């Protein structure tokens, strides 16, 4: 678990005494953010991205064809264009030199074509080729995202993540 060192003993007690539910309920308070929302996600990583065909091109985040949701990632975004229009894209959250998280979104009009899984695998291949670990998070209830992760080479090994947002 990754929390500030001064919070670790109390967080550990919560988890040991009450399990994940207690930790989920009490984590915001422990971090001095009692009104924070605690998010639970499935944490995956990829050592061998799937050999799916590429689906996109790398564009600067400020390219006019790149949608707003991809701008905060900075750097380049991996985008699938259909008739020069955004269909799906991947942003990479560069947490540190070792782990880069893949985030994907597909325009509703272009879903169920395999674009997301192909883009995620393509991005993961780039990340691993650069010597880093590709990671992928999704809501446990998001079965579509889970299928994308599985198909792109990110197995579900049972790891969970709790995130805290103000």
Count, residues in the chain = 166
Give the pLDDT of residue 3. Answer: 86
Counting residues of the chain whose pLDDT is more than 90, the rounded percentage is 81
User: pLDDT tens digits for 10-60?
Assistant: 999 999 999 888 988 899 999 999 998 888 999 999 999 999 999 999 999
Strand order across the beta sheet in which 99-106 lies: 57-60, 76-82, 85-94, 99-106, 133-138, 37-46, 160-165
Query: How large is the average pLDDT for residues 103-127?
Result: 97
Determine the Cα–Cα distance for residues 44 and 90; give it in Å rounded to an integer: 16
Give the pLDDT of residue 75. Answer: 87
Per-chain mean pLDDT for the chain: 94
What superfamily does domain 44-165 belong to in CATH?
Gcn5-related N-acetyltransferase (GNAT) (3.40.630.30)
Enumerate the domain spans of the chain: 1-35, 44-165
Q: What is the pTM of this model?
A: 0.87
Give the pLDDT of residue 54. Answer: 98
Query: How large is the average pLDDT for residues 5-10?
Result: 93
Give the pLDDT of residue 163. Answer: 86
**pLDDT: is 2 or 109 the higher one?**
109
Q: What is the dihedral of CA 76, 162, 133, 72, to 10 degrees?
A: 10
């Amino acid at each position: 678990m990754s929390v500030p060192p001064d919070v670790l003993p109390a967080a550990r007690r919560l988890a040991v005494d009450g399990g994940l539910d207690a930790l989920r309920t009490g984590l915001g308070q422990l971090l001095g953010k009692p009104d924070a929302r605690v998010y639970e996600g499935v944490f995956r990583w990829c050592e061998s991205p799937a050999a799916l065909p590429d689906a996109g091109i790398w564009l600067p985040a400020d390219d006019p064809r790149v949608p707003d949701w991809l701008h905060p990632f900075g750097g380049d975004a991996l985008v699938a264009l259909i008739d020069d229009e955004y269909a799906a894209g991947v942003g990479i959250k560069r947490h540190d030199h070792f782990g880069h998280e893949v985030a994907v979104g597909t325009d509703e009009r272009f879903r169920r074509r395999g674009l997301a899984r192909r883009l995620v695998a393509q991005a993961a291949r780039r990340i691993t080729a650069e010597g880093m670990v590709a990671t992928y998070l999704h809501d446990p209830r998001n079965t579509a995202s889970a299928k994308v992760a599985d198909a792109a080479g990110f197995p579900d090994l049972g790891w969970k993540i709790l995130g805290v947002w103000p």
